Amino acid sequence: MQNPVLEELHAARRKILADWNGDTDAYLRDAQTRLEQSRRPIWQGKQRTMHCTEVADHPHSDGGSASATR
């Protein structure tokens, strides 16, 4: 059974690789340059662990805790 979403993703990957002659490093460098030149804000989130005590100490309004609902 084929998955049309995965097929589309694989096709996009093949096209990107073909456009960049298989050089993923060059593609990623170009993408980073375009991102920086766009001057769009980039969210810089704070990395959290799976067992974040700050969140776990604050129950949700439904009575559950943050760690229990994830």
User: For the segment 1-58, what is each residue's pLDDT rounded down to a tens digit?
Assistant: 899 999 999 999 999 999 999 999 999 999 999 999 999 988 888 877 776 665 555 6
Question: Which residues, other chains included, contact 29 with Cβ-Cβ below 8 Å and sequence gap of 6+?
Answer: none
Mean pLDDT value across residues 61-69: 57
The residue behind tokens 């804000």 is 41
The residue behind tokens 């049309």 is 4
Taking a C-beta distance cutoff of 8 angstroms, is the pair 30, 21 a contact? no
Specify the pTM: 0.52
